[in-house]
Amino acid sequence: MIGIIDYGAGNLHSVLKAIKQLGYETKLISGNSDHTDEITKIILPGVGNAKVAMDVLYSTGLSDYLKERVSAGIPLLGICLGMQLLLETSEEGNVLCLGLLKGAVPEFTDESEKIPHMGWNQVKDTQSHFLFENIPDETDFYFVHSYFAKPELQEDILGATNYGIHFASVIGNSQVMGVQFHPEKSGKYGIQLLDNFCKQGGI
């Protein structure tokens, strides 16, 4: 069963709908949820402000829940802001994040490009990963963000995108991973990526 973290993120229901349409069982996980062991994978969606999001995750106990589940070996996928929250710190509100991956989240400062970075842009695979299965290299995905992930470890950069600078648009490892774009808004290849995450290792 796919657990989707409910902390008020704007794209929660579009992610939920996409996962259900793929045929997977889902469960919304909030601070008041019965966190059962039936959850085999977790998605952390995200639209909004990093500090506000982390305040909710801390106050509801969801931050501890995510860390505990990751420690137990449960795969986790962060989407957009949810990806940024996987790192250690964010300049958006100068907040401490989940720290599941080493690195920080700075703000775009290149004045040659409009901020936020909004619209379709290419993702270049930088290493082989099951998230990219059946997805052509340099596929376009849909982005909306003003901050970007800067992993400390080169090995945690799975895909990269250019927008004034080259930045990490897919990060992680075999268990904890994140995508800066919105797969639920990125057509068939975005849905393919969600399916790749959900089916990896069985349900």
Q: Which residues are catalytic?
A: 80, 182, 184
Q: How many CA atoms lie within 13 A of 83 on its CB side?
A: 28
Specify the length of the chain in residues: 203
Q: Quick count: other Cβ atoms within 10 Å of Cβ 142?
A: 17
Label residue 109 exposed, middle or buried (CB < 10 Å: 0-12, 13-18, 19+). exposed
Amino acid at 46: G
- Select from 178, 11, 13, 186 the least CA-distant residue to 82: 178
Which residues, at least 6 apart from 2, have a Cβ–Cβ distance to it below 8 Å? 19, 24, 25, 26, 27, 39, 40, 41, 42, 43, 198, 203
- Select from 120, 56, 64, 123 the least CA-distant residue to 93: 56
